[in-house]
C-alpha cells in the first residue's frame, strides 16, 4: 500500500471515529501563532468545580459546545489584561454552539472575584472555581493565564499560555472554524 493511500485511509478512519479533524495550523495567525495544537486531542478529566453560588459544576456540563476555558487568578496581572477580551469574545460568539468559561484556580474568594470582574467590566462570563487546583494540576497548568480550546466532545484541541487578544479577528476566525467543524449536519 502506498504511503499516500495509507494516510488517506487513516484520515478517513479518524474522521469516522469522531476524532477532531480540522487542521488548525493554517488558522494560526496573529496572536493565534502562540496557540499550541494538542495532538492527539485529549479528553478533559471530570473534576468538580464550584460556581459563584457554591454549586458543583463540571466542564462536561457544557458538552456539545465549543469552549474556550480560561484558567486565571485574581492576583494575576496578565489575567486582568486578558479577561475583558474574553468577555467581548463571549458577547460576539456566545450561544448554542460556543461558550467562554473562566476557572479561578487556587484561593480566590468570591468577594475578590466579584471585585476583579467589576473592575475589569466583565459581565458576560460565568465564574467557576478550582479551589484545590485539582483540574489545574491534572491538566498540567503551571502558570497563569492559560486558555484551552475544547471541542464539542470535551477534548482539548489547543492551548494558549499567556494573555491573548481573544476578541481579535484572528482568534474569532480560528474559533469560528472550530465551531463550524463540529456542527452536526442538519436533519430533514
Q: What's the pLDDT tens digit per position in 96-135?
A: 999 999 999 999 999 999 999 999 999 999 999 999 999 9
Residue 10 belongs to a domain? no
**Whole domain around residue 67: which residue ranges?**
19-181
Q: Can you give the CATH number for the domain in which 120 is found?
A: 3.40.30.10
Does 186 fall in a domain? Answer: no
In a domain, 125, yes or no: yes
Q: Structural domain tally of the chain? A: 1
Considering the domain boundaries, does residue 112 fall inside one?
Answer: yes
Percent of the chain with pLDDT over 90: 77
d(CA 117, CA 70) in angstroms, rounded, equals 14
Contact, 141 vs 31, CB < 8 A?
A: no
Residues of the chain with pLDDT under 50: 1-18
Within 8 A by CB and 6+ apart from 94, the residues are: 100, 124
- Find out whether 35 and 174 touch, Cβ atoms under 8 Å: yes
Task: Say what the pTM is.
Answer: 0.86
Amino acid at each position: 500500500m502506498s504511503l499516500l493511500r495509507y494516510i488517506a485511509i487513516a484520515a478517513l478512519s479518524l474522521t469516522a471515529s469522531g476524532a477532531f479533524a480540522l487542521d488548525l495550523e493554517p488558522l494560526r495567525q496573529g496572536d493565534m501563532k502562540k496557540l499550541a495544537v494538542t495532538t492527539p486531542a485529549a479528553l478533559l478529566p471530570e473534576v468538580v468545580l464550584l460556581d459563584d453560588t457554591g454549586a458543583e459544576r463540571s466542564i462536561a456540563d457544557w458538552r456539545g459546545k465549543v469552549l474556550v476555558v480560561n484558567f486565571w487568578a485574581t492576583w494575576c496581572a496578565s489575567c486582568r489584561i486578558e479577561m475583558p477580551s474574553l468577555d467581548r469574545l463571549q458577547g460576539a460568539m456566545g450561544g448554542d454552539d460556543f461558550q467562554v468559561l473562566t476557572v479561578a484556580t487556587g484561593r480566590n474568594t468570591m468577594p475578590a472575584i466579584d471585585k476583579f470582574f467589576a473592575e475589569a467590566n466583565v459581565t458576560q462570563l460565568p465564574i467557576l472555581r478550582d479551589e484545590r487546583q485539582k483540574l489545574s494540576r491534572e491538566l498540567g497548568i503551571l502558570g497563569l493565564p492559560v486558555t484551552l480550546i475544547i471541542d464539542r466532545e470535551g477534548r482539548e484541541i489547543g492551548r494558549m499560555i499567556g494573555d491573548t487578544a481573544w476578541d481579535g479577528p484572528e482568534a474569532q476566525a480560528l474559533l469560528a472554524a472550530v465551531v463550524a467543524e463540529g456542527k452536526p449536519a442538519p436533519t430533514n
